Structure 1
Amino acid sequence: MVYALMAINVLAFAFQRAAVASAATDGDVWFRAMILQRDHSGIWTYLTYAFLHDWNGIWHIVGNMLILWVFGPAVEDRFGRWRFLAFYLGGAVVAGLAHTLFSASPVVGASGAIAAVTGAFIVLFPLTRVRSIWLLGFAGFVMVPAWFFIGLALARDLFSIGLGQRMGVANEAHLGGYLFGGVLSFVLLWAKLLHREQYDLFSLGRQFKRRQDIRGAARISDATTQRAANGAARQRPAEKPDPIVEQIAAERAKVSRALAEGRTDDAIAVYRHLVERHGAVRPGAATLNRRAQFELGGELYQRGEHGLADYAFSRYIAAYPRGEESHEVRVLLARIKAEHLGETDAAMSLLESAIGSLREGEVKSIAIDELARLRGGGATA
Structure 2
Amino acid sequence: MRGACTFPRNILGTPSHSASRLRTLHLVFLPLGTDHLSSAHRRRIIVVPVLLALNVLTYATAFWGAGRGFWSVGGFYQKLALDWDGFVWWNMFSYQFLHDPNGIWHLLGNMFFLWTFGLAAEARVGRVRFLLAYLLGGALAGVAQIAVSQGSVIGASGSVSTVAGLFIALFPGARIYGLSLIGLGMVAIPASFFIILYVAIDLVDALLDLTGIRRSSIGNFAHLAGMAFGIGIGLTLLWLKQLPRTETDLLHAISQWQRRRTFRAAMREGNAWSASSASSTPPSRLAANAADTHSELERALRAEIATFYAQRDFPKAADRYRRLLADRSDAVLSAELQIDLATQLISAGDPTTGAHALSLFVVRFPNDHRSEEVKLLLATVLARTLGQSDRARGVLADIREGMLPTDKRTYYHALMDEVG
Give the whole-Å Cα distance in 2 for the aligned partners of 1:41 and 1:274.
Answer: 61
2:205 aligned partner: 160
Work out the CA distance in 1 between the residues paired with 2:179 and 2:416: 47
Question: Cα offset for 1:308?
Answer: 4.3
* Alpha-carbon contact 2:362-2:371 (below 8 Å) kept: no
Deviation (angstroms), 1:94 = 0.5
Report how far residue 267 of structure 1 moved: 6.7
Per-residue CA deviation, residues 96-129 of structure 1 (Å, 9 max, x unaligned), is: 1101211231111111000111112222211111
Distance in 2 of aligned mates of 1:43 and 1:203: 37
Q: Which moved more, 1:68-77 or 1:266-275?
A: 266-275
Is it true that 1:325 corresponds to 2:417 in the alignment?
yes
Residue identity opposite 2:187 in structure 1: V
Q: Which residue of 1 aligns with 2:85?
A: 39
> Matched residues in 1 for 2:364 and 2:117: separation?
36
Q: Which structure exhibits the higher relative contact order, with contacts defined as CA atoms closer than 8 Å and separated by 6 or more residues? A: 2
Match of 1:146 in 2: 191
**Aligned partner of residue 42 in structure 1, secondary structure:** coil
How far is 1:55 from its partner? 2.0
Equivalent in the alignment of 1:114 = 160
Q: Which of 115, 128, 136 is equivalent to 1:90?
A: 136
**Alpha carbons 1:255, 1:268 under 8 Å: kept:** no
2:263/2:398 contact within 8 Å kept = no
- The answer to whether residue 257 in structure 2 is matched with residue 208 in structure 1 is yes
Other structure's SS at 1:221 match: coil
Identify the residue that residue 373 of structure 1 maps to in structure 2.
Answer: none
1:269 to 370, 374, 397: 370
Q: Aligned to 1:132, what secondary structure does the other structure show?
A: strand
Paired letter, 1:146: A
Corresponding letter in the other structure for 1:200: D
1:180 aligns with 2:229: yes
Residue 261 of structure 2 corresponds to residue 198 of structure 1: no
The question of whether the paired residues in 2 share the 8 Å contact of 1:51 and 1:109 is answered with yes
Distance 1:64 1:267, change over 3 A: farther
The answer as to 2:111 corresponding to 1:65 is yes
Are the counterparts in 1 of residues 141 and 221 from structure 2 also a CA contact under 8 Å?
yes
**Aligned twin of 1:278:** none
Q: In structure 1, which of residues 111, 115, 127 is the aligned counterpart of residue 173 of structure 2?
A: 127
TM-score by length of 2: 0.61
Mapping 1:327-342, distance limit 5 Å: none
Residue correspondence of structure 1 range 352-363 to structure 2 within 5 A:
none
CA distance in 1, matches of 2:138, 2:317: 67
Distance 1:22 1:257, change over 3 A: farther
Corresponding residue of 1:49: 95
Tell me if structure 2 keeps the 8 A contact 1:271–1:286: no
The one of 306, 312, 319 equivalent to 2:406 is: 306
- What value does the CA root-mean-square deviation take over the aligned residues? 3.9
Q: Could you list the runs of 5+ residues in structure 2 that have no partner in the other structure?
A: 1-46, 286-297, 306-315, 322-337, 343-353, 384-391
Q: Which has the higher helix share?
A: 1
Contact 1:252-1:286 at 8 Å conserved across structures: no
- Give how far 1:183 is off: 1.9
Deviations along 1:144-198, whole A, 9 cap, x unmatched? 1112222222222222222233431111111111111112222222222222211
Distance 1:243 1:274, change over 3 A: farther
SS in structure 2 at match of 1:143: strand
Aligned pairs, how many? 300
Query: Residues 116 and 225 (structure 1 numbering): CA distance in 2 closer, same or farther, change over 3 Å?
Result: closer
Cα deviation, residue 139, structure 1: 3.2
How is 1:253-264 mapped onto 2 (pairs within 5 angstroms)? Answer: 253-254=359-360, 257=363
Contact 2:162 2:226 in 1 (8 A): yes
Percent identity over paired residues? 31
Alpha-carbon distance between aligned partners in 1 of 2:250 and 2:91, rounded to the nearest angstrom:
33
The answer on whether the counterparts of 2:362 and 2:375 sit within 8 Å (CA) in structure 1 is no
Q: 1:285 to 1:47 in 2, by over 3 A?
A: closer
Q: Deviations over 1:256-296 (max 9, x none)?
A: 5599xxx6xx3752355899xxxxxxxx8895423259838
**Would the aligned equivalents of 1:132 and 1:143 in 2 still touch at CA under 8 Å?**
yes
Shift of 1:132: 2.5
After superposition, the Cα gap between the structure-2 partners of 1:255 and 1:184, relative to the gap in structure 1 and judged at 3 Å, is farther
Distance across 2 between alignment mates of 1:60 and 1:258: 57
Q: How does 1:243-258 map to 2 (within 5 A)?
A: 243-244=317-318, 246=321, 247=338, 248=342, 249=354, 252-254=358-360, 257=363
List alignment gaps of at least 5 residues for structure 1. 231-236, 276-283, 318-322, 329-381
Per-residue Cα deviation, 1:198-246 (whole angstroms, up to 9, x for no partner):
1221101111222233344453115796789x9xxxxxx9998865464
| Conservation of the 8 A alpha-carbon contact between 1:123 and 1:200 | yes
Question: Quick one: distance in 2 between partners of 1:274 and 1:161?
Answer: 48
- CA positional deviation for 1:68: 0.2
1:220 aligns with 2:271: yes
- Tell me what 2:18 maps to: none
* Cα distance in 1 for residues equivalent to 2:230 and 2:87: 25
Amino acid at match of 2:202: D
- Which amino acid letter does the alignment assign opposite residue 220 of structure 1? N
- Once residues 174 and 149 of structure 2 are traced to their aligned partners in structure 1, the CA distance between those partners, rounded to angstroms, is 34
Shift of 1:89: 0.7
Paired residue for 1:372?
none
